[in-house]
């Protein structure tokens, strides 16, 4: 289990990570989501002992990363897939990782196979695409058969097939009791992969919880035969309705409320559903500059 408690990092007067607390439990995949510069990498660097926190703690099964006897056997980490030695082949990279972990070098070929790079093992990493480097980084992280995985932007540079592959791999890892924490600045990349989300903006956690919980209570989506008339009726009834690019209105009321307003005002509705606004909208709202959103439990 990963536990961050009031984790804070300041660089001079600038607070990159501000009072961040969250947990990642065994059997779950947690997405750590936020726009560029939100503080994700700094948090992951504190988690893996590379940057000391200004205050607060982050532990792995109750211990600091630096206190783990053989960290690579407990936590698989990939912080920067692009930073691998370009002159080594994929196989050499994994052999070095195996020897650092005191594992047989044959493990390198097993891992190449696992991440679908068997055919590219003899090529230099400098000639790999970013997606291939991500696969190699994941192979390195999995090398020591850890119970936890920490991956910074693993979907970066991966094509849709690669993302699908990674989703299956991480799901399987978590289903076998593993704990996964992965960061992303693009919700769409991780939405189908994660069970839980921790959203960060400007160094602060703006929301966290199960994916389903975060989607609850998002209002209603309605499409009227005369959108302008429906908008006026909804607004007149005290509801906030926002026109969407697809011609629907996103309303901060329940479908029943919207239906009643439409009935009372004689507006014809051609579509009405629970407003499970795309999580992307929630993400942008929560992390946008205007957002002064309190921390959700």
Ligand X SMILES: Nc1ncnc2c1ncn2[C@@H]1O[C@H](COP(=O)(O)OP(=O)(O)OP(=O)(O)O)[C@@H](O)[C@H]1O
Which residues of the chain form contacts with ligand X (CB under 6 A)? 11, 14, 16, 34, 36-42, 185
Least separation in angstroms between CB 176 and ligand X:
28
Q: Give the C-alpha separation, 227 to 231, whole Å.
A: 6
Least separation in angstroms between CB 36 and ligand X:
3
The residue among 40 and 135 lying less far from ligand X, judged by its C-beta, is 40
DSSP state of 45: H
The residue among 197 and 261 lying less far from ligand X, judged by its C-beta, is 197
The residue among 19 and 109 lying less far from ligand X, judged by its C-beta, is 19
Around Cβ 15, how many Cβ atoms within 10 Å?
16
The residue among 11 and 129 lying less far from ligand X, judged by its C-beta, is 11
Least separation in angstroms between CB 123 and ligand X:
28
Q: Which H or E element spans position 168?
A: helix 160-175
Q: What φ, ψ does residue 10 adopt, rounded to 5°?
A: -115, 140
Q: Put residue 27 in one of left, alpha, beta given phi > 0 → left and psi -120 to 50 → alpha.
A: left
Least separation in angstroms between CB 255 and ligand X:
36
Least separation in angstroms between CB 146 and ligand X:
22
Q: Give the C-alpha separation, 228 to 29, whole Å.
A: 43
The residue among 47 and 112 lying less far from ligand X, judged by its C-beta, is 47
Q: Give the C-alpha separation, 272 to 96, whole Å.
A: 58
């Amino acid at each position: 289990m990963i536990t961050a408690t009031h984790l804070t990092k300041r660089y001079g007067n600038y607070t990159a990570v501000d009072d961040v607390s969250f947990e990642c439990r065994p059997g779950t995949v947690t997405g750590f989501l936020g726009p560029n510069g939100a503080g994700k990498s700094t948090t992951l660097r504190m988690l893996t002992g590379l940057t000391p926190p200004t205050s607060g703690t982050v532990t792995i099964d109750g211990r600091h990363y630096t206190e783990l006897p053989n960290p690579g056997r407990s936590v698989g980490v990939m912080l920067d897939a692009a930073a691998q030695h370009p002159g080594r082949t994929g196989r050499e990279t994994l052999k070095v990782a195996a020897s650092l972990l005191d594992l047989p070098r044959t493990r390198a070929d097993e891992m190449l196979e696992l991440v679908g790079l068997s055919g590219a093992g003899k090529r230099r990493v400098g000639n790999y695409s970013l997606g291939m480097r991500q696969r190699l980084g994941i192979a390195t992280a999995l090398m020591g058969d850890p119970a936890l995985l920490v991956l910074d932007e693993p979907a970066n540079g991966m094509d849709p097939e690669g993302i699908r592959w990674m989703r299956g791999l991480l799901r399987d890892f978590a289903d076998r009791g593993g704990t996964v924490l992965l960061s992303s600045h693009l919700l769409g990349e991780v939405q189908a992969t994660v069970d839980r989300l921790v959203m960060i903006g400007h160094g602060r956690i703006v929301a966290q919880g199960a994916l389903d919980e975060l989607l609850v209570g998002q209002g209603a989506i309605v499409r009227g035969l005369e959108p302008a008339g429906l908008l006026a009726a909804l607004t007149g009834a005290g509801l906030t309705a926002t026109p969407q690019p697809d011609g629907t209105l996103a309303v901060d009321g329940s479908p029943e409320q919207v239906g009643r307003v439409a009935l009372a005002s004689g507006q014809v509705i051609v579509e009405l559903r629970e407003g499970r606004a795309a999580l992307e909208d929630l993400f942008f709202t929560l992390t946008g500059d205007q957002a002064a959103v309190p921390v959700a439990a």
